[in-house]
Amino acid sequence: MRNLILVAVLFAACTAKEAKVIGTIERLDPALDALVNKDAAIEVLAEGYEWSEGPVWIEKENMLLFSDVPKNIVYKWTEGHGAEVYLTPSGFTGTTTTSNEPGANGLVYYNDSLFLCQHGDRRIARMNAPLHTPAATFTTLAATFNEKRFSSPNDAVMNSNGELFFTDPPYGLAKHENDSEKEQPYNGVYKVTKGVVSLLVDSLTKPNGIIVMPDQKKNYCCQFRSGKSNLV
């Protein structure tokens, strides 16, 4: 079992005596100082998960949401209560699956709604319930391209116009690239605009994390291969 931890950057107001800290922050560019305090430490907020992913901060609720993908659970963390179950099932709503990683992966907060990359259901979905009363009822935003199902949407991001970008590697399929249930001929990067799905990139072997730059003009995608990650 992969025992991962959820960490957060903690500012100098907290000391090592008040919280469990781990590692160090390597500063490769002085510009980081404008974003992260020079005296910041990395605090362990919660641990003991099989595989934690997709953290997203919901400011209006003062909570952090994150996924345990194999367990099919989204957790929330708050200052007062720590980590607790927020939503289950999170990524697979059926009865049987061959996937070892069926839960939600990447999470996106936009326009007061939670969007989930659902491995098991092989789609991008929006949770129908309000954030303060979560429930496993969903509306599908994207599940197919060219009438073929996605493999396992991994990560997503929304730009300021409400366009959603997401990656679709095969990690949620039991045999990954060689799974008989894989329908898409490539591991693509896609865009959803007003319900219409378009393919942006089909040349990456394992697209993973994705972001939109603040100027809204560029996207960066993490390409994972041979045990290493590269930005493209």
Clarify whether residues 68 and 18 are in a common domain: no
Facing residues of 64 across strands? 57, 77
Per-residue pLDDT averaged across 154-180, rounded? Answer: 96
- Residues 223 and 200 grouped into a single domain: yes
d(CA 48, CA 198): 38
DSSP 135: -
Question: What are 133-148's pLDDT values in tens digits?
Answer: 999 999 999 999 999 9
Does 39 share its domain with 144? no
Backbone Cα Rg of the chain:
18
Domain identity same for 157 and 201: yes
- Amino acid identity, position 110: Y
Domain that holds residue 164: 50-231
Q: What is the pLDDT, as a whole number, of residue 19?
A: 80
Domain match, 182 and 77 both: yes
Which DSSP letter does residue 25 get? Answer: -
| pTM: predicted TM-score of the whole model, two decimal places | 0.88
Residue 14: the pLDDT is: 42
Distance CA 103, CA 92 (A): 6
Q: What is the Cα–Cα distance from 153 to 145, expressed in whole angstroms?
A: 12
From 49, 64, 87, the end of a domain falls on 49
Residues 7 and 73 placed together within one structural domain of the fold: no
pLDDT at position 9: 53
Q: Give the CATH number of the domain where residue 123 resides.
A: 2.120.10.30
Residues 95, 168, single domain; the answer is yes
Q: What is the pLDDT of residue 56?
A: 97
> What is d(CA 115, CA 53) in angstroms, rounded to the nearest whole number?
14
Per-residue pLDDT at 1 exceeds 90: no
C-alpha to C-alpha distance for 86 and 225, rounded to whole angstroms: 32
Query: What is the rounded average pLDDT of the residues 143-164?
Result: 97
Question: Which tokens is 73 given?
Answer: 């659970």
Residues 34 and 140 in one domain: no
Are residues 84 and 166 located together in one domain of the fold? yes
User: Minimal CA–CA distance to 11: which of 2, 3, 222, 21?
Assistant: 21
Residue 225 predicted with pLDDT over 70:
no
Pair of tokens at residue 35: 């974003």
124 and 207 housed in the same domain:
yes
| 11 and 89 within one domain | no
Question: Could you give the number of structural domains in the chain?
Answer: 2
Is 44 found in the same domain as 54? no
User: Vertex 97, ends 129 and 142: CA angle to 5°?
Assistant: 45
Per-residue pLDDT reduced to its tens digit, 67-88: 999 999 999 999 999 999 999 9
